[in-house]
Amino acid sequence: MKKSLVLLVVLTVLGGILAGCASQGKQSVLDKITKDGKVMVGTSADYPPYEYVDDAGNKTGFDIDLMTEIAKRMGVELVWVDMPFDSLVAAVQEGKIDMSISCFNYSAERDEQVDFSDAYYTSEDAFLVKSGFAGAIVNPEDVAKYKIGVQSGTVQDDWLTTTLVEAGLVEDANISRYERVDQAALDLNAGRIEVLMADYVPAQALVKQYPDFQVVYHAVLSTGPLNIVLPDGDAKLQAEINKVIKALQDEGFIDTLATKYFSE
Amino acid sequence: MNFSSFIQYIASGTAYTLGVTLVALPSGLVLGVLFALLYVYGGRVVSRLMSLYSTVMRGIPPIVLLFILYFVMSGSVNLSPFWAGSISLGIISSAYQMEIVRGAILAVSGEQMLAARAIGMSTLEAIRYVILPQTLRLAIPPWSNEAAIVIKDSSLVYALGVPEILRRAQLISASTQQPFLAYISAAVIYFALVFIANRLLARLERRLTIPSNP
């Protein structure tokens, strides 16, 4: 009898706590952001060049600069909340942070928990060759026939490793990995590699720098569109963020950032 | 970057590590002693309740309780990552510390309680003047084990983004691409903390030894 009484009390208390979770107001987060004059944005600052800490310990990267500009356009102060990547979606869902920018790709699974902004950037991959290149690249796997260069630790490096090396199409030793893309470009120019795989935006920057270079193939291979994660069902906030993203795209601000971060 | 600048960057997270530990360990001790006394002297019902508490709290991984406190209960209590981490580690540690203290109480012979009662002490007086002084001394060696565990478990708050030692090691590992140096630095700092804590406790144990009861 006593035991069941204790159990009843415990269940009632637990139920109350859980009900508290469910009964949050449906007010738009945008109103809260405007009222407080600050936006709390989560990121996992361990993914260069999108988000990382510099030697002085400050957050920097493509996403960081972009979000800084978005907050400036919204006229609010930006407060960064660093958190491991796995915790970010739950933190947005529970209202611990207002939104999250951390190189997120849209996925249907995540979409059930949270909402997404429009893509602020679509990361495409490109294959660069020097004029006089005799081969042909019709399918991306065709690069396996040539000497390939890539910046080490990038998503392109990952793609080459999983799609070509692990599939047995090419020996790992045949891929030259460089610390920076510009070093790889020097070797492409010198003929030590035949194909350079890089993000499309910095690849185009390299073509401007080396008139002999040309992009023979570009497509979404390794990353795809990037979106900001927003609270579920908050159309007002979503519309505002999409508006700012659209403006920044039209002004070329985002392409400038991509060149800055993806080619160094 | 060289080893010393790694250590420097990561060590600046020590304040959070110590902060979490200094909340979790003492609050766990206060609760642990209280619960252990209730377990031993509290009568049948209270004793069963304490036993249930101990079983449940020792059965939950600290990180799960951390996520429950921070994410699941966020509608009722809005805790900062630091407090969610400190409180959940304190709760779990209280269950372990309760068992440590309970063991120590049982090691003090039960006849001492009878003797104290026989010379006219109340039960509370007997606990205060006879049982606890011996119990807490006996509890120091196993307790230093628990202190080391809580210091290291404080690294779990990294999952909520508290910039303590482990999270800072992750960040610098990513930006410099030197995971080896980053995690070795973190290991060295944790080791130093645990080493110092255990040395201090060993000294405390020596100072408090009752000469006639070595």
Q: Chain A contacts of B44, Cβ < 8 Å?
A: none
What distance in Å separates the CA atoms of residue B200 and residue A164, rounded to the nearest whole number?
56
Lowest mean pLDDT: which of A1-5, A240-244, B77-81, B195-199? A1-5
ipTM (interface pTM): 0.79
What distance in Å separates the CA atoms of residue A99 and residue A231, rounded to the nearest whole number?
7
Q: List residues of chain A with CB under 8 Å from any CB of chain B.
A: 2, 6, 16-18, 20-24, 42, 45-48, 52-55, 57, 81-84, 86-87, 90-91, 93-96, 153
| Number of domains composing chain B | 1
Contact flag A18-B72 (C-beta cutoff 8 Å): yes
**What is the token pair recorded at B197?**
């804590």
- What's the CA angle centered on A115, arms A112 and A121, to 5 degrees? 125
What distance in Å separates the CA atoms of residue B182 and residue A51, rounded to the nearest whole number?
18
Structural domains in chain A plus CATH codes: 28-121+226-262 (3.40.190.10), 123-223 (3.40.190.10)
B72, B161, B171 member nearest A21 (Cβ): B72
Residue B144 belongs to a domain? yes
CB < 8 Å & 24+ apart, contacts of B129-137: B131/B105, B132/B33, B134/B104, B134/B108, B134/B210, B134/B213, B135/B101, B135/B104, B135/B105, B135/B107, B135/B108, B136/B33, B136/B101, B136/B104, B137/B205, B137/B208, B137/B209, B137/B210
Contacts of B15 (CB under 8 A, 6+ apart): none
Judge whether A219 and A140 are in contact, CB under 8 Å: yes
Q: Chain A contacts of B167, Cβ < 8 Å?
A: 82, 84
Residue with tokens 């406790």: B201
Any A CB within 8 A of B212 CB: no
Residue range(s) defining the domain that contains residue B134: 18-162
Angle between helical axes of B62-70 and B81-107 (0-180°, round to 10): 140
Q: For the whole model, what pTM was predicted? A: 0.75
Q: Chain A contacts of B8, Cβ < 8 Å?
A: none
**What is the token pair recorded at A7?**
């159990």
What distance in Å separates the CA atoms of residue B2 and residue A164, rounded to the nearest whole number?
35
pLDDT higher than 50, residue B156? yes
Contact flag A82-B163 (C-beta cutoff 8 Å): yes
A18, A48, A91 member nearest B175 (Cβ): A48
pLDDT tens for each residue of chain A, 264 residues long: 455 555 555 555 555 555 444 444 568 999 999 999 999 999 998 877 888 888 888 999 999 999 999 999 999 999 999 998 889 999 999 999 999 999 888 877 888 899 999 999 987 899 999 999 988 899 999 999 999 999 887 778 888 988 899 989 988 888 999 877 778 888 999 999 999 998 887 788 788 888 999 999 999 887 778 999 999 999 999 999 999 999 999 999 998 998 888 765
The arithmetic mean of pLDDT across residues B142-152, rounded, is 95
CATH code at B39? 1.10.3720.10
